Amino acid sequence: MARSPLGALESAVMNPKTLLFLALALVTVWFLTARWWQVRAARPAGRSTDDPPATGFHAVVGFVMCFFDTLGIGNFATTTSMFKLRHSVRDEWIPGTLNVAYTLPTVAQAFIYISIVRVDFLTLVTMIGASVAGAWLGAGVVARWPRMKIQVGMGFALLAAAAVMLLTQLQLVPVGGLALALRGPTLIAGLVGNFALGALMTLGIGLYAPCLILVSLLGMDPRAAFPIMMGSCAFLMPIAGMRFIRAGSYSLRASVVLALCMRRGRCSSRRSWSEGKQCPMFNDQCSMII
């Protein structure tokens, strides 16, 4: 017997993933609205604390880095390298600029991967919650740090991430199992790990590759990491980004240019996905180690 349209709608609304998507949509709308008001408030105030314009350079960075990000190569470490190479964004503003600029494409990725990749819902939601909590606390601290502390923090965090990735490439750590869920001690370990990774996101260290390593170490199927890591970033980046915006600890010009140009990069990378040209995450790990 066919279900009525009302029954089908009720079933869809009560689906846990639907509720998660609704929550993500609300967070995204809140971020866009709050950011728009912040930008409007900055204009009449004549915000002078911004870096010199580098529109062309940031446009190229936004396009290229988001192109490779969708193919499996993270954009936080690579974008940080470009900023420092050109000195286009001051060091203390790099974490905030990354979190603000790359929010929207990360939200789009989260919708896609949560929809198509199987993973236990309880594991997914709790891991996302842990990363958001870490980012909320971390952003409040990092936004008030002076340049030297941020430089030292970013250096140590990158070295730690590079060490773990190097061990993975040398096959000195487990490469994952078949589990789609975490329970008991492994779930607690995952929550603690993702809390720490959420805090590191506010230092400008990408969460994707470290989160993939984390869930693999805990015995999960590496494919299950994709909705976890992208869902985590999609929820934590608007919240952390807003704390950076309110503290004025980001480059307004760079974040706007990156946000506008990344859409083209995403569209081009999706065509490469459809043609089967998937780049291995090994390239991102090598770039971070270098």
What does the chain look like in DSSP terms, one character per residue? -PPPHHHHHHHHHTSHHHHHHHHHHHHHHHHHHHHHHHHHHHHHHT---SPPP-HHHHHHHHHHHHHHHHTT--SHHHHHHHHHHHT-S-GGGHHHHHHHHTHHHHHHHHHHHHHHS---HHHHHHHHHHHHHHHHHHHHHHTT--HHHHHHHHHHHHHHHHHHHHHHHTT-S----SBS---THHHHHHHHHHHHHHHHHTTT--SHHHHHHHHHHTTB-GGGHHHHHHHHHHHHHHHHHHHHHHHT-S-HHHHHHHHHHHHHHHHHHHHHHHTT-PPPTHHHHHHHH-
pLDDT at residue 123 in the model: 93
Looking at every residue in the chain, the average pLDDT score rounds to 76
Identity of the amino acid at 248: G
CA dihedral 185, 18, 223, 276 (to 10 degrees): -170
pLDDT band at 28 (very low <50, low <70, confident <90, very high): very high
Token readout for 146 is 């002076």
pLDDT at residue 246 in the model: 82
Mean pLDDT of 248-254: 82
- 242 pLDDT higher than 80: yes
Indicate the range of 110-119, 132-141, 203-212 predicted with least confidence.
Answer: 203-212
